[in-house]
Amino acid sequence: MEEYRVSAPEVLRKPLVVPEKLLMGPGPSNAHPRVLEAMARPILGHLHPETLKIMDDIKAGMRYLFQTNNAATFCLSASGHGGMEATLCNLLEDGDVVLIGHTGHWGDRAADMASRYGADVHMVRASKPGGSLTLAEIRKAIETHRPSVLFLTQGESSTGVLQGLEGVGPLCRANDCLLVVDTVASLGGTPFHMDRWEVDAVYTGSQKVLGAPPGITPISFNHRAVERYKRRQTKVKVYYWDMFLVGDYWGCFGRPRIYHHTISSTLLYGLREAIALACEESIPSLIARHQDCAKRLHDGLRAMGMELYAQERDRLPTVTTIRVPAGVDWLKVSQYAMKTYLVEISGGLGPTAGQVFRIGLMGQNATSERVDRVLQVFRDSIKAAKPDFVFPRSASKM
């Protein structure tokens, strides 16, 4: 008998243990029981007719949530980062000028990715930390740099900033520029109208407001983006992100379906049910619920004497950033909340690392009960990390 020198690990003889946690960070969010139940169903082949039908259901649902009639609406087998990669990879060639709107960490990440695809990268930065870009600032940057692509993050989860988009699409069209928007942390929590706002490419996260597992990313390209693809002088640099190849697998262009990769049927089930739940609730109700919960959270934080990081007019409903009070160790607060209550409260990311706490209200976690729960846990965790911390008298009643 052949000898195998590496033994099976003892740790895998033990049963799998997964604790139940309340995920009140910037994502992922807790999934609805219907999503979890759907994912327990049998695995299907990646080209079985039942799988293709589920993919078609997802396309229809995402057209509703993106508010678009784009044929090229499908999903990538990847996390939200894959959406950023795919939009830039398909729409940029060597030497193309791309303008990145910077309101936090995801502007830096997009700039890094675009440079790897050979683009000439320029930034337009928000004038104040915790603020968004004005239309005038965007216009000036477009006229200065003459980009072929403008990239904006609608919901910047590192800073809690909501970027306004109205008026940007027509401005881009007047300057022969494509508008790409990241809605990973915002879709479903704030209005988004792809067609009406003349957005050329968009992607979102499955694991945020939708409350599906990460690993499958909805994306949509309009006719202008598809035409830009057709005019490419070179092949898309990454096979896996190629819009036409993935789009043909998803049946977007009226051609026979092809094998592109082996999609996870399990992730499709979860995403399909998450989208169905959002459609049943309706976009207006979904947004109103997130905005109501955000107001409740903000009011509660202010009653505790906390200072919010994002400017009031630019606050993202789904991710709230709170300045770390002087003398408080944010990591001890976060660790205490998790160890004691199994509640996730996150620290900052990128430019806000060490400066803020981040609390997410997304999907199943955007309820008044969970807002009140995270406020109580946050207060108790600050007190545990810094016993001499003094809250306003009103906060003691929470």
Alpha carbon distance 197, 170 (integer Å) = 8
The closest alpha carbon to 275, from 68, 78, 75, 60, belongs to 60
If one counts every other C-beta atom within 10 angstroms of the C-beta of residue 267, the result is 18
Pairing of strands 155-156, 217-221: unpaired
**Do the annotations mark residue 196 as ligand-binding?**
no
Tokens encoding 256:
């026979």
Annotated binding site: 358
Annotated binding site for substrate: 358
